[in-house]
Amino acid sequence: MRNFRDNVLLYVKGVCMGGADVIPGVSGGTVAFISGIYDELLHSLKSIDIEALRLLGTFKIKEFWKKINGNFLITLLAGIVTSLLSLAKLMTHWLETYPIQVWSFFFGLILVSAPLVLREIKKWSTGVVISFLIGIVVAYFVTILSPTTTTDSLWFIFICGAVAICAMILPGISGAFVLLLIGKYEFMVRALIEFNIPVIIVFVVGCAIGLVSFSRLLSWILDNFHNATVGLLAGFMLGSLNKVWPWKVVTAYRFDSAGTQVPAFDKSVLPGEYFSATGNDPKILLAILMVALGACIIVVLEKIALRLKTKI
């Protein structure tokens, strides 16, 4: 049974998950994993089944709420929604104004998180190592894919929600980046900022259906192939570092749904090559400091979680 302090910390973790999900290349699932709530989140989502719906349909609200771990889910969801509504515009501004510092911060966050995730592996084997390497390779190739242009129809927004939410709960695979790949990242951020209710509702419904369905599969895989799955997820995290590398040069452009020309494809380069290609200061010292800040925050969060000795 969680006390008030536990629920406040859980809410903060939800805020962090929501903030991470706004950023292409950063996964809310990563935050859930490193903050110790990943397994409980999956099992809570998995409990939303036919039996739970039957309890709800017969107005056995108390039993329904207990079965789905309702207090946990509603507290976490409140934090995620708060973050999405408040940070969407802010994150967009920061990425446009301070791109090197922001990406450096998340680079440090993920870089330190991956070894922490690997500590969850109880026993190493050849299969676990192969899963880890596959995760790195797959995530890396995902980061170098070029975004595409897609329809703004509500049926496609529903599909986007179902697909993106599956990525959002996978550590290292960013739902926001998946939206970017299918050409709907700017569209959904703008929908949040402008409170486009029909689009938001359809997207959320897609998320809900995708989340409940996919969480059951992922939970089963973790229960039956824990070490190999954790190795794969840690590989995803390391492979995704290419996406959050601070120094990039644009190699191609595209038009978004509003008809504005935006970067479509870029590549990671060293600071010197970045300066030569763009003429902009690579801000190496600031980048190093932000990497260190991201790393320190992860270490501090882990220490806090251990000290509090709670299930969250």
Q: What is the pLDDT of residue 310?
A: 47
pLDDT-based confidence at 290, cuts 50/70/90? very high
Q: What is the mean pLDDT of residues 239-261?
A: 76
Closest CA to 174 of 261, 97, 109: 109
Give the integer Cα–Cα distance in Å for 10 and 162: 24
Q: What is the mean pLDDT of residues 56-66?
A: 88
Domain positions in the chain are 4-308
Closest CA to 55 of 46, 45, 67: 67
Q: What is the pLDDT of residue 222?
A: 77
Q: What is the pLDDT of residue 288?
A: 95
Residue 251 scores a pLDDT above 90: no
Q: What is the mean pLDDT of residues 180-194?
A: 79
Q: What is the mean pLDDT of residues 119-136?
A: 90
Mean pLDDT value across the chain:
82
Q: What is the pLDDT of residue 191?
A: 86
| Residue 309, Ramachandran bin (φ over 0: left; ψ between -120 and 50: alpha; else beta) | left
Residue 308 scores a pLDDT above 60: no
Q: pLDDT: is 172 or 219 the higher one?
A: 219
Give the integer Cα–Cα distance in Å for 79 and 75: 7
Give the integer Cα–Cα distance in Å for 204 and 194: 16
Q: What is the mean pLDDT of residues 96-119?
A: 84
Sign of the torsion formed by the C-alpha atoms of 211, 167, 103 and 94: negative
User: Are the beta carbons of 127 and 228 closer than 8 angstroms?
Assistant: yes
Give the integer Cα–Cα distance in Å for 154 and 184: 12
Q: What is the mean pLDDT of residues 272-281?
A: 90
pLDDT-based confidence at 264, cuts 50/70/90? low
User: Are the beta carbons of 42 and 219 closer than 8 angstroms?
Assistant: yes
Q: What is the pLDDT of residue 170?
A: 72
By percentage, how much of the chain surpasses pLDDT 90? 19
Q: What is the pLDDT of residue 311?
A: 46
Residue 25 scores a pLDDT above 60: no
Q: Can you spell out the DSSP letters for 57-106?
A: HTT-HHHHHHHTTHHHHHHHHHHHHHHHHHHHHHHHHHHHHSHHHHHHHH
Q: What is the mean pLDDT of residues 35-53?
A: 83
In the three-class reduction of DSSP (H, G, I as helix; E, B as strand; rest coil), residue 269 is classed as: coil
pLDDT-based confidence at 312, cuts 50/70/90? very low
DSSP symbol at 243: T
pLDDT-based confidence at 304, cuts 50/70/90? low
Q: pLDDT: is 157 or 183 the higher one?
A: 157
